[in-house]
A and B are shown apart, each in its own frame.
Chain A
Amino acid sequence: MLIETKKLTKRFGGNVAVNEVDFTIEEGKINAIIGPNGAGKSTFFNLLSGSYTPSAGQVIYKGKDITKLSPDRIAKLGVARTFQTTNLFEQSTVLDNVIVGHRLRTKSNLWDAVLRTKRFAKEEKKCREKAMEVLDFVDLTHVMNQQAGSITQEEKKRVAFALALATDPEVVFLDEPTAGINPGETEGLADLMEKMVKRKITVCLIEHKMKMIMKLADKIMVLNYGEKIAEGTSEQIMNDPAVIEAYLGGDASA
Chain B
Amino acid sequence: MSRAPLTKSRKFTEVQQRLSSEGAAIFVDREGKEALYVLSPYRIDYVHSYAEDSPFFLGLAEHRLRGSRCTGCAYVYGTPRGHCQFCGEPTEWVDLPLSGKVHSWTTCHFGSEAFLKETPYNLVLVEFEGVNSLLFSRLKDCGEKDIYVGMPVEARFAPEPKFSITDVWFVPATKK
Q: Do A and B bind each other?
A: no
